[in-house]
Every structure is written in C-alpha cells, then in structure tokens.
Amino acid sequence: MLETLRQRLQAHAPRRLDLGMPQAAVLLPIVDRPEPTLLFTRRATHLSTHGGQVAFPGGKRDQTDADLLATALRESHEEIALPPDQVELFGQLSDLVSLHGLQVTPYVGRIPPDLPLVPEPAELDAIFEVPLSLFLEDRRHHTDVIPFNGQPYYVPSYHTQGQVIWGLSAMMLVELLAEGFQSPVSLLEEPPHGPLCYYPERPPGITRPKLRIRQ
C-alpha cells in the first residue's frame, strides 16, 4: 500500500501558489505499521490561534530554512521531537491558504513506528495516530460546506478518539486520498451520505453553522 502511495505522490503535480503571503509548511507523517496510521497533533488550548484544534505538525517558515521542506522537518522536530532523518519523503500536496492568511505547503512522509515522540508543551497538548482505514473508508462524521468565491467546498469532518479532524487538515487529507489512493472523494462534489454543515462565505469570528440532516 505505502509503496504504491509513494509512487503516485512522486508522479503527482501539486498546485503551486504565488500570492506573496507569509509561508508555512506541514508534514503528514504516515506511520509504517502493519495497518498504517496518520499522526496528528492537538494544539495547546492556551494558544491564541488554533488553540485546541487538531493539526499536522508544522508551522511558519523561518528565515534560516533552506526551503519549505526544511520548514516542515524543523517544525516537526521542534513540536514532536521527530528526527528529520527518520522521515522518508513521499511527495508534496497542493498549496492551501489558511483563514489566518498563511500559504501552507503540505508534505507527506513515512516514519517508523514507536519513535519516542514527545509533544512540546508550549505548543501541543497531545500526539495521536489514526488508522488510514478510517479515511479510506470515508467514515466522516459530517461534511462542512464552506463557500469561497461562490464555490461550495465539501470538507469532511472526522470524529475519532475524542478528536475532531476538519478544516485545512481535512482538505489536505482529501487530496492525499484522491491522488495517493485514488479514492472517489472530492472537495467540489457533494458526498452521497451524511449530514451537511453550512458555513457563511466569510464567518465573522466563530459562527455556529446550520446543520442539515440528509434524509
């Protein structure tokens, strides 16, 4: 499974953006277990942005970073003590823009199981793994419908182990599933099952979505 994923991601041509925004990078670490998992972090609740939210390890580009891959590896080392030499790079996903005005570049890499990873307490509350099968079987809890420039984007929201995986991380997962595993999932198509949560075009602060239960 993972060798096929590596080959497909190396052949993938991700979308590049040049918007003049501050840059950031994240790593999607796939743990090489008999049943592969994806590694996630939960941001510390005291942080002013993204506090308590689930995310992949990563952060803003530093002036000393040679490139954005260096950013993803450095931030992963700082946040979860992941040694850069333990990451086998599989490939890159398309750039995304966060609500906080960051241009984010995702990288996908394989890491060995049972590394002595430790969350940086100033930034993280937890590190946890989720079986890839949860995403491959599309066991989403619901779908967030997020409009942008008049186009609705159907972003899956996964609830597992008491955590919620949604937003930018879920958008990265959709591309990983579609390109790396040829899963029939798309941000541009309404899914055939599950409830939909509608968000306004530009939510002012925290906005409670309207929930529509599919019959």
Number of C-alpha atoms within 13 angstroms, CB side, residue 44? 11
- pLDDT at position 185 is 95
What's the helix, strand, coil split of the chain in %, to 5? 20, 35, 45
| pLDDT, average across residues 146-172 | 94
Confidence of residue 48 (pLDDT cuts 50, 70, 90): low
Contact 38, 106 (CB under 8 A): no
Confidence of residue 215 (pLDDT cuts 50, 70, 90): very low
| Its pTM surpasses 0.85 | yes
Within 110-190, residue ranges assigned H as helices are 132-136, 167-175
Confidence of residue 80 (pLDDT cuts 50, 70, 90): very high
Q: Domains in the chain, ordered, with CATH? A: 2-202 (3.90.79.10)
- Give the separation between CA 163 and CA 71, rounded to whole angstroms: 26
Q: Which amino acid is at 89?
A: L
Confidence of residue 100 (pLDDT cuts 50, 70, 90): confident
pLDDT at 35 over 90: yes
- Give the separation between CA 171 and CA 114, rounded to whole angstroms: 27
The more confident residue out of 76 and 101 is 76
| Radius of gyration for the alpha carbons in the chain, expressed in angstroms and rounded | 17
pLDDT at 206 over 60: no
pLDDT at 182 over 60: yes
